Amino acid sequence: MGCTPAEAVPERLPFERLQWASVAESMEKSELRGGTAGDTVVSTEATSDGFHVVVQVTHWQTCGTTKFRVRRVLDVTSGDTLGAYRVSDPCLDGGLFAPASAVLGGVAGKDAAGVSYWSVGSWNMQERGWAWWPTPLRLEDIFADDYYDLADGTLLALRPSAVRVAAPGSIDFSELDTNARVGSAGDDMFVWSQLLEPAGSRVRAWTRAGGVVDVVDELPADPCAVTATETHVVGLAGAGNCTSFLHDIKFWRTERAEIGNDAAVEFGPVITSSSRIGMLRFVAHGDFAAFMAVPEVDGGSGPFFLLVARFSDRTLWRIDPQPGWQPFRSSSTHALTDTHLYLLDRKGGNLQAAYRIPLSDLETIATPFVPAP
C-alpha cells in the first residue's frame, strides 16, 4: 500500500523544548512556534507523574527541495516532544478524520486497487512508543466517525446513532449501541448519551472490564455533553438544541462507584437564564469542568469565552479573549489537569502559544460568570 506511516526521530527534528515563563499573575506562557492550528488535537493523558496535556499538531518541514508534513506529539505540560511521524504526498494525515485523542494518529491513502484506507496507530504514554495496527481500516467504513483511544490501544468509533469498539490492533469493530447522541472517552471509559422514546434521556458507559452499563437512567434535561474522569462520570444538560444554543444549563456528575444509582447524581452549578449559550468542547477533570461558550446575540453568535465550573462550591467563572490570549473555537482550545487549566492560542492559521493557570488561582485571571436575566 502506498501510504505507510514513517516514524520520525524527534531529536532530529527542529523542535525546541517548550519553556514556561510567567506573563501575568498566576499565568504562564510558552511559545509553540508554528504548528498548523486547524488540525490540532489536544487531550489530557495519564503519565507516570500525573496527568499531562498532550497536543498533536502538523508541522511543515523541508528536506532539500521536498516539503512534507510531520505530525508531532507534544507533551505541553513537560515541554517534551514525545514522538512524530511523517506524512508524504499524496497521503493525508489522520488528523483530517477527527481523532479526539492527541495520542491517536494515522495516515490515509489508497491501495493499488484504488480503495481508500486509514493506517492507524497510537502513542503509548507509558512505553513511549508508537503501536501501529497491522492492517489498515477501510475509509468507507469509518469516514463519518469520531475516534477515541482508551490509552491501551482500544479504539472507539462514534457516529450518529452508533457506538463501536475494536480491540487493540484489530480492525474488526463490534457494535455497543445503536442509539447514541453525544459521547466522549475519559481514562479507561467511554460514555455516551441517548434520547429515549417517547421522552426522557439516559447516559451509558463501556469499559473493557465491565462492558456496557447504564450510568444514569433519567436526567431532568437533555444530556448534551458527557465525559469520564478517574473518579466520576461528568456531564452537562440543558434545554434547547445541543448543536446550536441551550438555556437552563445544569452541570452534573456521579461517582463511578455509584453508577446506576440515579439518586447519587450530584448537580453542580446551574445557569438559569433566558439567554441561550452554544457549547464547544466540554472537558472535566477533578472538581472542575469547562467549555467554550458562544452566547446567542440577535439571532447569531456573540463574542465567545471560556466558561469554567467548580462543583464543590458551585462557582462559575468566565475567561474572555484578551491581549496575549486569543482562543479559537475548535476542539483544540483548552484542557484540564489535576492542577492547571491550559489554553491554546493561534495567530492566523498557526498555533502561537500555550498558557496555563493554576486551578487554585483561577480568580486572579478569570471573572465571575453572571448570566443574563
Q: Grid coordinates representing 364?
A: 486572579
The predicted structure's pLDDT at residue 213: 95
Q: What is the pLDDT of residues 262-283, one digit of tens each?
A: 999 999 988 887 778 888 889 9
Answer yes or no: pTM beyond 0.85: yes
The predicted structure's pLDDT at residue 54: 93
Determine the Cα–Cα distance for residues 34 and 322; give it in Å rounded to an integer.
21
Determine the Cα–Cα distance for residues 232 and 235; give it in Å rounded to an integer.
10
The answer to whether 95 and 17 have CB atoms below 8 angstroms apart is no
Residue 332 has pLDDT above 80, yes or no: no
The predicted structure's pLDDT at residue 296: 80
The predicted structure's pLDDT at residue 328: 57
Q: What is the pLDDT of residues 56-71, one digit of tens each?
A: 888 888 777 777 788 8
Q: What is the pLDDT of residues 134-179, one digit of tens each?
A: 888 887 777 667 888 887 778 888 877 889 998 888 888 999 999 8
Residue 11 has pLDDT above 80, yes or no: no
- List Cβ neighbours of 118 (8 Å cut-off, separation of 6 or more): 94, 97, 106, 107, 108, 136, 137, 139, 142
The predicted structure's pLDDT at residue 326: 61
All domains in the chain, ordered by first residue? 6-368 (2.130.10)
Q: What is the pLDDT of residues 80-104, one digit of tens each?
A: 999 998 887 677 655 445 577 888 8
